[in-house]
Each structure stands twice: as structure tokens, then as C-alpha cells.
Structure 1
Amino acid sequence: MRKRISTPGGLTFAVLALALTLGAAPAKAFFGLGSKHAAVRPQGDAVRIPLAEINDGAAHFYELSDGGKGIRFFVVQSRDGVVRAAFDACDVCYHSRKGYTQDGAQMVCVNCSQRFDVARVNEVKGGCNPAPLERRVDGDTLSIPLAALRAGANFF
């Protein structure tokens, strides 16, 4: 009789190593390694983010937990100095739940690889463009109305 040796730990390690190598954010979250989305909580009727946290030209990803649903979005300051915000989803690919990643001055749909100039976020909507999110600058804080975030909950 042949004895079978099981190595579930080795297989788990191989799958984890592959996921990390490929940069698969959903796989990282599945394995308990966190998410690219920082948790935010509403303050009154809005989510408020200090401008000093987001004024570096990099896309910053957030998630609001609302009624058991995670509403994901990103904020980025374009080269023209405008702070922009969009859901981490689009009208076309939202079912994949993959969202966007940033490549220099472009946001890239992780599902279909379409590229969008950061300066067009909040300016162009529809199709695979990042779904715009209402926002306003109040002094040294970016405010995103809770109602606007909830309006996009269907993406998630």
C-alpha cells in the first residue's frame, strides 16, 4: 500500500506567494493580509479626509462600512492641484469588484486595463471611467457627503 503525504501548508504557501507576486489585492485580503482600502468613518453627514494626507499625487483608497456594505472609493490630487474623488468602480466592470490602480498620471481599471488620466476623474463619467464622487474642499479638509457615498452603494 502506498502512503500519501499531504502538504497543505506548502500548497497554501505557494498560493500566497503567487498572489503576492501578482499584486492581487483581493487575494491579499482573502489571506488576511489587509486591503489597499483604509477604513473611514463618517463625521456627521460626511467623510472628512485631511488634505495633507492626500496632496502627494498618489491615489489613496478608502472604504466606508455602511449598513454591512463596504463602499470603496479613491481620492487623488491631479497635477493641476485639483483634488478628485471617485468610486473604486465603474459602470461597466463593477461586477468584477477589482476597481482601479494608479500608474503615474493614469488610473487603470484592474478588470479591463482601460486607462484614464487622473485629471479627468470627476470630469468624465460613464463607461469604464471611474464613477465620479461628489466632494468639496473645506479649508484643510476634503469632505465627501455621506449621501453621495450611499448613492453609489449599488456598485458594491
Structure 2
Amino acid sequence: MFKKNAPTDKHAAKKAVVLRTEKKSCLLLASVIAALALLIAGGILFISRKGEKTLQVADSLSPDFSATTVTYPVEIFEDGQARHFQYRAGDGIAIKYFILKSSDGLIRAAFDACDVCWRAGKGYYQAGDFMVCRNCGRRFASFLVNEVQGGCNPAPLNRKIVDGKVVIRVEDIREGKQYFEFSRRS
């Protein structure tokens, strides 16, 4: 009787080992596939956002707000990097703008919006010598900021350079409020 059951017990034990191994293999395979999928998705996200900088509002700078003007030292723009700022209007609307030293050596300013894409509220980021619309992806050479207006070009913001400072009139900043009144989206 023992001899007859012995092969069956061996067979059952072998079957149990094989079945457990298959379950472990399936779990391991599923884990590897999930990890690869996450890795690939992360890589695609990284590549698709390559060159796109996040919006950097220069909060660490303390502009001089007087009753009628906002001023910034010229030196902070020497590196050619666009600096994003915002002015909060009396009704709480944040009017966003950027200032940069363009490739032709001039300091330029524009609202962080345009006539076409302002409703999206996305603004621009800098990619090398270009400002790029975050909504439609159009690229604008830095030396054309303040020169070309309309369409998807960054909406110009008047500025002057006086005694080593970029001077922007608060009145000019407030004129850009129309680009940031998102209740008008329709």
C-alpha cells in the first residue's frame, strides 16, 4: 500500500512545486513589466519636456515699487535669462510679465501672454534665445520681444533704462490686465 501511494505523493509534491513556481514567475514577470512601463513612461515625459523650463517667478528679487514705477537693477538681466514677475492689481488680479536681455544686448519686457493664447493662461518659457508659448509652442526670438506685436507674439510692455535700472511704469503694467482677467474667457 505504501509503494502504491508513494509515486502519487511524489507526483502531487512535484505538481505543487511547479504550480507555485508558475505563480511566482507570473508575479515576477508582472512586476518587471510594470517597472519597465513606469520607466518608459517617465522617459517619455522627460524627453517631451526637455528644454522646457518651469515658470520661474523671481520672488527673491525685491523690486522697488514706488507710487508710479517699478524698477529692477540692470545687472540681474546680464545673463540673458528671462525673469518672470507679477504685479497684483488692486482687485487681486496678478498681471504677469517677463524681462530679459536679448541676444542683441537690449533689455526687453513683455507681458507673459499674447493676443491669441492669453485665455489659456500659460505664458512663455525661455529656450536658448527664444521665448516659447506654453500653449501653442510657437517660438519668438528674444530680439523681437517689444518689436513685433499681435498674434502669438509676447504682448509688449514699455520699459526704460535709467541710471542702471529697468524702469516700468505701473500704469503700463496695469494696461496688461486684460490678458489676465480669466473671467473673460469665452
TM-score normalised by length of structure 2: 0.64
Structure 1 residue runs without a partner (length 5+)? 1-17, 26-34
Identity among equivalent positions (%) equals 41
CA distance in 2, matches of 1:83, 1:24: 20
Residue identity opposite 1:55 in structure 2: E
Of 75, 83, 89, the residue aligned with 2:99 is 75
**Residues 1:151 and 2:171 aligned together:** no
Letter of the 1:37 counterpart: V
- 2:82 alignment counterpart: 59
* Aligned residue identity for 1:86: A
What SS is found at the alignment partner of 1:76? Answer: strand
Structure 1 or 2: larger strand share?
A: 1
For residues 24 and 100 of structure 1, the distance between their equivalents in structure 2, rounded to whole angstroms, comes to 9
Match of 1:49 in 2: 72
- Counterpart CA distance in 2 for 1:89 and 1:38 is 17
Q: Once superposed, which parts of structure 1, at least 4 consecutive aligned residues long, lie more than 6 Å away? A: none
Q: CA deviation at 1:54?
A: 1.3
Which structure 2 residue ranges, 5 or more long, are not aligned? 1-41, 181-186
Asked if 1:139 is matched to 2:159, the reply is no
Q: Is the 8 A contact 1:57 1:76 kept in 2?
A: yes
Counterpart-to-counterpart distance in 2, 1:24 and 1:155? 22
Cα-Cα RMSD:
2.0
Normalised by the length of structure 1, the TM-score is: 0.76
Q: Please name the residue that 1:106 is paired with.
A: 130
Number of aligned positions between the proteins: 129
Q: Which has the higher helix share?
A: 2
Residue 36 and residue 45 in structure 1: after superposition, are their counterparts in 2 closer, same or farther (change >3 A)? same
Deviations 1:81-106 (A, max 9, x none): 10000000000000000000001011
Judge conservation of contact 1:73–1:85 (CA < 8 Å) in 2.
Answer: yes
Letter in 2 for 1:73: Y
